[in-house]
Structure 1
């Protein structure tokens, strides 16, 4: 059965979302629940229309995979608003007085209280220090899992998800902390996974990589080139798989626990998640390409288990 495409044209725009660069707005449904609509249509600096085709289905597939893996995430549904394709997501800040602080704010907060931190570059070690010293707690409303209990433990899972789907957009505004009115702090669910699954490639380029006998142009090589928004000591961007590897060195028990969950994710389940996207939104070639990306990334991640196991004391 295909995923539904929800038409929200009847609802009035309550507020435009300032965070990020895409066309986003908040609205309330008939039950009074708050939703964010994200359109694939946006504008460049010259105020010209730009269409980010594939961001809708990439977000939906990422959401479904996160659900299967038990990774806390913002939920997404395919949607349309006055003819504009996009996705909707219910507000995950539900409690009275809850507030979201994004990664850039948290890095600035840590810099202000540290004599050794003096820049805003996103590094794995810096982010995990924030997880352990500032955020500390698991996402609100999500259960602890075996060997996965703290903010640090869950964030390792976010980085595994990034590696699985080749998400290249985990920048400082795409993770964060929720603070309650009682001043308890929790990791926010994982959100904004649209820059993944090769959504920006043309079907022509996808087909070349799917059919080639040239290893240099294959999907296997393609996924290894994907870069994260985490930086090494030379201020070069880490590859996405490297970012997960580095997190595994810091928290190997959680990494192994997440990889065990990944090993239970059968290829047939992955195929089913992708195949349910309506063809009016995602072509057959794009589905094949996304499946191969996930399959290759899954294999690369599971190959790390032996090495990560040596990090566990």
Structure 2
């Protein structure tokens, strides 16, 4: 089983201000490395309390990303006092500065409107074409296991392919970033992928998951996975995650396309089951759902891209 780390006595570095949920940077007392703790959301209504298990999505997502060769943050299950959640190891080397897509695109485009702006439901400006422009002259994440000739957008293409596999609809302009080195420290790079908390149906109650496992419920649910965080025409059907992955793969060299599709093809039911079987407290219903979602989307990506 994957271990749950008790971080209750780790030193608080600071609170993370990006994002809607409360998150805290903590220092590992053994080596001083910074980890971001994020608690699972707890919902309460007349029917009682239930936990939105983002930690399941983060851990399975992180392990699957690594299996596909996607540079990503290391994730561990964690407990902070009475709160369960997960911790994510800081991606940014010491002395470097992390800048989210909002900052990068704002510097590239005139009058860029962030995705969180109330009037920007169409996500104007947050397109693959603009992201490719913004990542020109950027390298892949430091230490990433990708071919030597890959540039930053080649790696970002892997991110959106991965999103399609794990049903991650949350790749907005604060959920990807670049890293700027200190003066004389080399060229800027793309940051590893992070924040997969909304993937794999983490917002669904178990009763809903049970109903989706009947008949064609899972394939129908997967086909509803729209890439609404990317620029789209509000008067037309929103592109799906597979549509965005296919579009990105057409924007890169054939060798890059083949690399990421081979990574998708390498995902097997046995690999996914070997991950879900190691998740503490994961029910058979949830593990079965995650396995079916990943394998359904694997087939959709390989057929549609």
Hey, what does 1:175 align to over in structure 2? 176
Hey, what does 1:289 align to over in structure 2? 289
Residue 205 in structure 1 maps to residue 208 in structure 2 = yes
SS in 2 for 1:231: coil
Listed one character per residue, the Cα deviations across residues 182-228 of structure 1 (whole Å, up to 9, x for unaligned) are: 3611000000000010111121111112123xx4xx11111010122
Contact 2:54/2:197 (8 A) holds in 1 = yes
Hey, what does 2:150 align to over in structure 1? 149
Contact 1:23/1:38 (8 A) holds in 2 = yes
Moved over 6 A (4+): none
Give the CA deviation at 1:270.
Answer: 1.3
Hey, what does 1:308 align to over in structure 2? none
- The correspondence of residues 103-182 of structure 1 with structure 2, limited to 5 A, is 103-112=101-110, 120-131=124-135, 133=136, 136-145=138-147, 149-181=150-182, 182=184
Hey, what does 1:303 align to over in structure 2? 303
Task: State the distance in 1 between where 2:161 and 2:73 align.
Answer: 16
Hey, what does 2:194 align to over in structure 1? 191
Hey, what does 1:309 align to over in structure 2? none
Q: Aligned in 2, Cα 1:120/1:179: closer, same or farther, shift over 3 Å?
A: farther
Hey, what does 2:46 align to over in structure 1? none
Task: State the distance in 2 between where 1:266 and 1:41 align.
Answer: 30
Q: Report how many aligned residue pairs link the two structures.
A: 285
Give the CA deviation at 1:67.
Answer: 1.0
Task: State the distance in 2 between where 1:299 and 1:195 align.
Answer: 21
Computed over aligned residues only, the root mean square deviation of the Cα atoms, in angstroms, reads 2.3
Contact 1:15/1:27 (8 A) holds in 2 = yes
Give the CA deviation at 1:56.
Answer: 0.7
- The correspondence of residues 52-91 of structure 1 with structure 2, limited to 5 A, is 53-91=52-90
Contact 1:22/1:42 (8 A) holds in 2 = no
Listed one character per residue, the Cα deviations across residues 274-306 of structure 1 (whole Å, up to 9, x for unaligned) are: 211011xx222111111100010001111135x
- The correspondence of residues 18-57 of structure 1 with structure 2, limited to 5 A, is 18-30=17-29, 31-41=31-41, 53-57=52-56
Could you list the runs of 5+ residues in structure 1 that have no partner in the other structure?
44-49, 306-313
Give the CA deviation at 1:95.
Answer: 2.8
Hey, what does 2:268 align to over in structure 1? 266
Give the CA deviation at 1:165.
Answer: 0.4
SS in 2 for 1:230: coil
Give the CA deviation at 1:123.
Answer: 1.4
Hey, what does 2:117 align to over in structure 1? none
Task: State the distance in 1 between where 2:177 and 2:235 align.
Answer: 22
SS in 2 for 1:13: strand
Give the CA deviation at 1:167.
Answer: 0.4
Give the CA deviation at 1:244.
Answer: 0.6
Task: State the distance in 1 between where 2:289 and 2:55 align.
Answer: 16
SS in 2 for 1:204: helix
Give the CA deviation at 1:143.
Answer: 3.4
Task: State the distance in 1 between where 2:80 and 2:51 align.
Answer: 16
Listed one character per residue, the Cα deviations across residues 134-171 of structure 1 (whole Å, up to 9, x for unaligned) are: x521111213327x611011111101110010001100
Give the CA deviation at 1:256.
Answer: 2.2
Give the CA deviation at 1:234.
Answer: 5.0
Q: Aligned in 2, Cα 1:113/1:201: closer, same or farther, shift over 3 Å?
A: closer
Q: TM-score, normalised by structure 1?
A: 0.85
Contact 1:23/1:41 (8 A) holds in 2 = no
Q: Aligned in 2, Cα 1:248/1:78: closer, same or farther, shift over 3 Å?
A: same
